[in-house]
Structure 1
């Protein structure tokens, strides 16, 4: 594929996730061509550009003005995702934005609508969804390996780290829900029906600055299948989910962040019988950016990504409403979320 046939992509922000995972994957994707990285700090942009062999741009607006860039990847702090995703779409660029996009259903729907109106791809970067281990789990469920699914349990927690990190900044929309909780909630979307909603939620906030450090969420779909999601930023490391059915249970031990060379294991338990598979390694970040490249090139591949992003934002918004904030604690944390009327462009 020639350079003219590849989608030129720029990066807004020299974030750690971009440096370690996503940009190396972009370079391995034959349908994408890394053009430039933008930072508000010239030295950061230059360091990033030298590492990955692209151009350095000072200021996000200047990158969006470039005609040789057709798509952008946005790994900025969570609080800046809406602003710059909107700016990129209005500049005519396809958008791949890091999770969590937003906890506002209305804002996500507006972005999806803008993308649809302008014929652009709009995708939230949950790389784990593209790992082949989840396809194997879905195949086992479809084949009746656990009978009728009843419950999903999913957990993602990490140890406390340097308090100066953005993940601990309430002002920049850090916190456990948006940093780790978004993964098990997104996994619930993967295994429950489209009519999934939040039934109850609890967040534990840090007294000093009000950042949420841990939480639990209960979800369900219209068929009565439930999902119990637990997460945190002050925990022994845990990264797993299990699907429990009428006749058995499927367990995935490295669910959300397996390295590209990791051969994951999927375990099936039925009564006294246990069967375990070691699956081929898969580069979920490469597969994710490849899915984005396909959406840039093929309008038929775009709609589902936008729908998923809006539904995820709606679920996170419901969690925050039910859990309350340090300033306004929820009176009924186990109340049922109200029905939403947010329109998802189709």
Structure 2
């Protein structure tokens, strides 16, 4: 039986993102107890429980058998998400899953429907959405700080990863688009709304690995504002977006992975002057974890967040189907 005031959390998978970001924030959240951490091996699970507490568990299925687990955080590789989300929901446990929820709209919509049917919380952890800097950008747009929107551009690119990284494994990580490409796509949906039209896309494809390494996407809004998105894992590091309007531009860096101590610097450029606004530091991982716990414990409504996930899945699938593949 779940405690009224505290959520008993299990963790399925010992991923780097869990070690560096999510579990430190989860351990600091007063409404959560980390009670068990599962890995394929007991040794790996024990490394995590030695640091973050809880009982080490060998095997993901064994975690789902535990009566002391109310909810499960899933940071597994992307193409394993659908199976384990479904098994977790069928075990009667709430789910916080790393992005992307799945690799298709059909799977994502089916799992969202299953969670709603069983009255369980299911939340995709696109953590950057929960940083307050984006709320400020949306407010500036609504207030007309740059006039009428004319364009949006965003990039999330990184240098090559070490050989054997899961993103290079077609049937496990799924390539760069599912991982890095999802960020600028979701930023466009978040700031511009869900009614974006696909104009075109091309992906750079590695024929030996059979994965997408990078690419560019062109969208437009119903009012004719252009949307240019860049992603990849064979570049210098970029992590930014900008919005162009009839009277100025908004520019923001480190938009997807800012450290919790980082104070974002928002730039507004106009024809005759520019200004900088230093925003407060914020902890996006702590924010999403607190929101998830509140939704489970107090029955918070995550319908809008799930609708965003479904919009994302729809647009990602349309882009993948339409993209021209260019072999590198």
**What does residue 43 of structure 1 align with?**
43
Specify the SS of the correspondent of 1:218.
strand
Residue ranges of structure 1 left out of the alignment (5+ in a row): 328-346
2:154 corresponding residue in structure 1 = 154
Find the counterpart in structure 2 of residue 29 from structure 1. Answer: 29
How far has the Cα of 1:43 moved from its partner? 0.7
**Cα separation, 2, equivalents of 1:28 and 1:121:** 21
Q: In the TM superposition, what is the alpha-carbon distance from 1:3 to its structure 2 partner?
A: 6.0
* TM-score, L = length of structure 2: 0.95
Maintained 8 Å contact 1:122/1:305: no
Residues 1:214 and 2:209 are matched in the alignment: no
Deviations along 1:59-97, one digit per CA (max 9) or x if unpaired, are: 111111212111111000111011101111111111111
Moved over 4 A (4+): 324-327
Q: 1:175 Cα shift?
A: 1.3
Aligned to 2:60: 60
Q: CA distance change for structure 1 residues 28 and 3 in 2, over 3 Å: closer, same or farther?
A: farther
Number of corresponding residues: 326
TM-score by length of 1: 0.90
Shift in Å at residue 311 of structure 1? 1.4
Residue 271 of structure 2 corresponds to which residue in structure 1?
271
Q: Counterpart in 2 of 1:168?
A: 168
Who is 1:194 aligned against? 194
Structure 1 position 146, deviation (Å): 0.6
Counterpart of 1:256 in 2: which secondary structure? Answer: coil
2-structure distance, mates of 1:219, 1:251: 19
Equivalent-residue separation in structure 2 for 1:66 and 1:110 (angstroms)? 25
Task: Note the alpha carbon deviations across 1:102-142, whole angstroms, 9 max, x for none.
Answer: 23111100000001101111111111111111111111112
**Aligned equivalents of 1:83, 1:137: Cα separation in 2:** 36
What are the residue-to-residue correspondences of 1:80-95 with 2, within 5 Å? Answer: 80-95=80-95
Aligned-partner SS, 2:174: coil
Q: What's the CA shift string for 1:252-311, capped at 9, x where partnerless?
A: 011100111111110001112101011111111101111211222344422122211121
Query: For the aligned residues, what is the CA RMSD?
Result: 1.7
Aligned partners of 1:122 and 1:222: how far apart in 2?
A: 31
